[in-house]
């Protein structure tokens, strides 16, 4: 029977809940908004299967695998703009759907509830749901069990998620499937859904219930200017909201490390050789590797680690502008791929305040709109309007 003694030892992957034959395990929120397994002892059969499928208790050996690294840009400008970086995932997913398969990914539950859940689609026209980063920990639900049912029936399946979610799926399945394609996204950390709900509560004081769409890393000001965007329903005549990483309360909280899951602080899945077929993440310095590529709407690094992945890429590469680059450049990718995110010593105090006080006051207590924040916001905004922001950002990165 699985027991969580230290919250740093549970990534919330839900493999145990999916595997339990007695359905005695459900995932419940703690006071920070993160999901952890809760066991109904009256139903538990003490079979130990929950422990056998836990990817933390049963860490896969890190083995060297074949690797090819590409930088890619989707040739479809609409897909590329809707995607967080270069739009690499869509052609992989379209390949699976064209073969009669199902594609799993993280999406908003519906247009009125901004809870992020894992779900599957079976048509290409539904793939838009998975585009764009979701700076939240998605709820896996029963998608591992659904995946197994599809696989056992012979269908091709593509499952995408964070490295710990892919590890959870693989541990749950307990064997390799030739008809399974996995895609993991390089992950900084997962922030609290509870904090996001409180953030939305604050935003709705201005926007009301007129929110149509939320984009955590919008390209409203361009790919290199990460923007939190909240789009209002057209009929409301409410102004859309766009704020950068320097001034938006949610992005500031996320990147401060104060609202991330405890297991992310010492993530065991941040490995060089994850067990997925594909790993995808940003390539901000695309001109370093391919001067002929533009850097306007995003580029994806696509790391392929299996012969299955190589075969699929050969089929879909016509959808990309692509270039193979040296595998040694994997290390030139930012700290997210190699190092866990640090938390802050104010964390316990922050969550205590958030659960007992007005959220707007709490956000402004920990992330005040100081003269420095105002200066950074105005500098970024006007440098963008004047067309010099990309140049200033490159200069800043060189100076760091």
Report in angstroms the alpha-carbon separations of 148 from 19, 169, 176: 11, 9, 11
Instruction: Give the neighbor-by-neighbor strand order of the sheet with 227-232.
Output: 211-218, 227-232, 241-244
Q: What is the mean pLDDT of each run of 10 residues along the chain (400 residues)?
A: 91 97 97 97 95 91 76 96 96 98 94 87 97 94 98 98 95 96 93 96 90 92 88 88 93 94 90 78 91 92 94 97 86 57 80 97 95 88 76 55
Residue 228 has φ and ψ, to the nearest 5°, of -90, 120
Supply 109's token pair.
């539950």
Domain ranges of the chain: 7-52, 68-190+260-337, 193-259+340-399
Report in angstroms the alpha-carbon separations of 68 from 52, 154, 312, 340, 343: 32, 28, 13, 24, 33
The pLDDT of residue 331 is 65
The pTM of the full predicted model, rounded to 2 decimals, is: 0.93
The pLDDT of residue 137 is 93
Element (H, E) at 29: strand 25-29
Q: What is the CA radius of gyration of the chain?
A: 21
The pLDDT of residue 383 is 82
């Amino acid at each position: 029977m699985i027991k969580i003694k230290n919250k740093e030892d549970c990534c919330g992957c839900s493999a145990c809940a999916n595997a339990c034959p007695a359905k005695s395990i459900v995932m419940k929120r703690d006071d920070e908004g993160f999901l952890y397994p809760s066991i109904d002892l009256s139903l538990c059969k003490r079979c130990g299967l929950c422990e056998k499928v836990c990817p933390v208790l049963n860490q896969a050996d890190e083995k060297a695998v074949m690797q090819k690294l590409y930088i890619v840009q989707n040739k479809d400008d609409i897909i590329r703009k809707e995607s967080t970086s270069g739009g690499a995932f869509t052609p992989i997913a379209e390949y699976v759907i064209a073969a009669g398969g199902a594609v799993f990914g993280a999406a908003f539950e519906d247009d009125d509830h901004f809870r992020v859940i894992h779900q599957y689609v079976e048509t290409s026209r539904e793939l838009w749901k998975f585009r764009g980063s979701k700076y939240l920990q998605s709820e896996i639900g029963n998608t591992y069990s659904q995946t197994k049912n599809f696989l056992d029936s012979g269908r091709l399946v593509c499952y995408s998620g964070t490295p710990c979610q892919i590890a959870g799926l693989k541990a749950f399945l307990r064997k390799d499937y030739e008809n399974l394609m996995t895609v993991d996204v390089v992950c900084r950390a997962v922030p609290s859904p509870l904090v996001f709900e409180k953030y939305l509560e604050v935003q709705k004081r201005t926007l009301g219930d007129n929110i149509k769409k939320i984009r955590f890393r919008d390209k409203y000001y361009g790919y290199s200017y990460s923007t939190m965007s909240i789009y209002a329903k057209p009929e409301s005549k409410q102004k859309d909201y766009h704020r950068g990483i320097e001034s938006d309360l949610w992005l500031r909280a996320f990147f401060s490390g104060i609202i991330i899951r405890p297991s992310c602080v010492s993530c065991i899945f941040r490995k060089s050789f994850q067990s997925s077929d594909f790993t995808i993440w940003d390539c901000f310095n695309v001109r370093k590797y391919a001067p002929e590529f533009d850097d306007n709407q995003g580029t994806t690094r696509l790391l392929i680690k299996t012969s299955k992945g190589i075969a699929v890429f050969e089929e879909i590469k016509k959808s990309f502008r692509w270039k193979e680059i040296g595998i040694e450049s994997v290390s030139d990718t930012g700290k997210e791929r190699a190092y866990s995110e640090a938390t802050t010593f104010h964390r316990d105090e922050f969550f205590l305040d958030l659960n007992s006080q007005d959220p707007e006051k709490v956000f402004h207590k920990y992330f005040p709109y100081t003269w420095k924040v105002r200066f950074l916001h105005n500098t970024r905004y006007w440098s963008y309007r004047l067309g010099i922001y990309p140049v200033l950002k490159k200069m800043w990165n060189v100076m760091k």
